[in-house]
Amino acid sequence: MRFNFFLSEALSSLRRNWVMTVAAVLTVFISMAILGLVLVIDRNLNQGATSLKNRVMIEVFLKDSATPEQVAALKSRIESMPEVKGAPTYVSKDEALAEFKQRLGANAASILQNLSTNPLPASFRIYVKNPNEVDRVAARFFNDPIVDNTPGTHDGVRYAQQTVRRMLGTIDLVEKGMWVATIIFSAAAILLISTTVRLSIFARRREIEIMRLVGATNWFIRWPFVVRLRRQPRCDSVEGPGHRLRGCDGLRDGATPALRGARRRRAGRSDGLPLSGHLAARQYGWGRAHVRPRWRTTLPRRSAPANIRSACVL
C-alpha cells in the first residue's frame, strides 16, 4: 500500500506538471545520450589504437649464408630482449615464397615460372610490447652480421619508422582529446541533471516544507521523486538508466515501522477525541517500538532502523 501511495503520488505529480516533466525527461535524455555517445566513441578509438599498436612489427631479414646455428643464436637473443612481446616468428625462405605466392594470387604461377632460385630471404618477425621502443629494438639488428643489410644502410631491418611515430602521436592526441571530452560531457550531464532535479524540487519546496512539518522522513518525501525519475530513464541512452539512480535502490522503509505498532494499537481506541495524546504515549511507552524493515536491499543504511528503534514518542 505504501508503494501504491508513492506511485500514485508520482503519477499525479507527473500529470500535473507535464511540461516540466517533458523538459526534465528531455534534458536527462539528451545529456545522457551525448555522454553515452562520447563514451562509445572513446571506447572505439581506444580499441582501434590498441590494435594498431599491437600491429607494430619489426621484420629482420637474414642473409642466405646464415647457418642454422647463427639463426638459432639470433632467435634466442631476440627472445631474451625484455621489450619483445612473445617469441619472434621465424619465416623461412620457403614460407616467404609461399606467402608471396598467396599474395600474388592468380598471377603467381607465370611470374614464379621464371625464377630458378628462391630470391626471398628468411626473416624474423618481432612484435614489441611498447611501440615507443620500436626504434631502439630495431637498432640492435643494424650491425648484426647475419642480417641482410646492404652495406652502409639498414635495409635489412624493416619497420614503419615514420608511420609508427606519426601514428603514436596521433593516437596520443586523440586519447587526450577524448579524456577531455569525456570529462566535459560528464560534468555537463551531471550539472544538467542535477539542475533539473533541483528545479523540480524547488518547484515543490512548499510541499516539501509541509511534508517535513507533519513529520515525513526524508525518504518518505523522496520516494515519489525517485519513482518519478525511475520512470524517466527507461528511454535514456546507453549509460543512462541505472547509474544515476542506483543510489536509491537501497531505500528502507523510512522511520515509519517504529510507530506503526503503537499507532495500530492506538487506532483501535481512537474514536473521536477521547484518548489524549500524552496519555496514549504513556500507555504505549516512550519509543522502543518494534522494527520490521520492509525492503531489505544492499546499500549502506541511511535511515537505519537503529535510529528508529529508540524512536522518540512523546
Partner 1 sequence: MITFENVSKVYDGGVVGLQNVSMHIGKGEFAFLVGPSGSGKSTLIRLILKELEPTDGRILVAGRNLNTLRRSKIPLLRRNIGCVFQDFKLLPDKTVFENVAYALEVVGEPRRSIRRKVPEILNLVGLGDKMNSLPSEISGGEQQRVSVARAFVNHPPLLLADEPTGNIDPDTSVGIMQLLLRINRTGTTILCATHDREMVDRMRKRVLALDSGRLVRDERRGVYDSEV
Residue ranges that bind partner 1, judged by CB under 8 A: 1-2, 5, 16, 206-207, 209-218, 220, 253-260, 263-264, 266-267, 270-281, 286, 303, 307-308, 311-314
Do residues 157 and 58 lie in contact, with contact meaning Cβ atoms separated by under 8 Å? yes
Q: Which three cell numbers stand for residue 227?
A: 519513482
* CB within 8 Å of 222: residues ≥ 6 apart: 248
Alpha helices in 203-248 (DSSP H): 205-213, 218-231, 241-246
Indicate if the alpha-carbon torsion angle 184, 190, 191, 193 is positive or negative. positive
Question: Shortest approach of partner 1 to residue 193 CB, angstroms?
Answer: 25
Q: How far apart are CA 32 and CA 40, in angstroms?
A: 12
Nearer to partner 1, 34 or 211 (CB): 211
Nearer to partner 1, 38 or 227 (CB): 227
Question: Shortest approach of partner 1 to residue 296 CB, angstroms?
Answer: 17
Do residues 251 and 226 lie in contact, with contact meaning Cβ atoms separated by under 8 Å? yes
Question: Shortest approach of partner 1 to residue 229 CB, angstroms?
Answer: 20
Nearer to partner 1, 158 or 263 (CB): 263
For 57, 81, 131, 274, the CA distances from 127, given in Å and listed in that order, are 5, 11, 9, 90
Nearer to partner 1, 69 or 271 (CB): 271
Q: How many CB atoms lie within 10 A of CB 227?
A: 20
Task: Please name the residue that has the C-alpha cell 525527461.
Answer: 25
CA–chain centroid gap for 83, Å, is: 30
Nearer to partner 1, 52 or 313 (CB): 313
Nearer to partner 1, 53 or 260 (CB): 260
Nearer to partner 1, 6 or 185 (CB): 6
Q: How many CB atoms lie within 10 A of CB 35?
A: 26
Nearer to partner 1, 15 or 234 (CB): 15
Question: Shortest approach of partner 1 to residue 40 CB, angstroms?
Answer: 42
Q: How far apart are CA 199 and CA 24, in angstroms?
A: 9
Task: Please name the residue that has the C-alpha cell 616467404.
Answer: 96
Question: Shortest approach of partner 1 to residue 23 CB, angstroms?
Answer: 19
Task: Pick left, alpha or beta for residue 236 (phi over 0 → left; psi -120 to 50 → alpha; otherwise beta).
Answer: beta
Question: Shortest approach of partner 1 to residue 198 CB, angstroms?
Answer: 20
Indicate if the alpha-carbon torsion angle 261, 265, 266, 272 is positive or negative. positive
Question: Shortest approach of partner 1 to residue 311 CB, angstroms?
Answer: 5
Question: Shortest approach of partner 1 to residue 290 CB, angstroms?
Answer: 13
For 173, 216, 264, 307, the CA distances from 284, given in Å and listed in that order, are 71, 21, 11, 19
